């Protein structure tokens, strides 16, 4: 897994260990089956961008061969 700088910053600012665990659990779910979640790329974009949602968080990521690149993490908790 590769985390973009913004995603790393969000992880560092999450309010509790529980929040970090929830985000990491969603990232692990995505890592196991990255194409199970919707492709949300803009029309004409060549980058495959997908999003997955948990109870209080979401991740935006790019699947790569054998890995994912986490571009953005959101927290609504």
In the chain the domains, ranked by start, together with CATH numbers, are 2-41+48-75 (3.30.2310.20)
Count other C-beta atoms under 10 Å from residue 24's C-beta: 15
Question: What single string gives the DSSP state of each residue in 39-52?
Answer: B-PPTT--S--EEE
Q: Which one-letter DSSP state was computed for residue 36?
A: G
The number of angstroms, rounded, from the C-alpha of 44 to the middle of its chain's C-alpha atoms is: 22
Question: pLDDT tens digits, residue range 10-41?
Answer: 999 999 999 999 999 999 999 999 999 999 99
pTM: 0.90
Task: Grade residue 44 by pLDDT with cuts at 50, 70 and 90.
Answer: very high
């Amino acid at each position: 897994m590769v985390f973009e700088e913004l995603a790393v910053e969000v992880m560092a600012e999450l309010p509790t260990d529980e929040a970090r665990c929830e985000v990491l659990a969603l990232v692990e779910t995505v890592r196991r089956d990255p194409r199970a979640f919707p492709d949300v790329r803009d029309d004409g974009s060549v980058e495959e961008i997908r999003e997955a949602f948990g109870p209080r968080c979401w991740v935006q990521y790019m699947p790569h061969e054998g890995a994912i690149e986490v571009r953005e993490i959101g927290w609504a908790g």
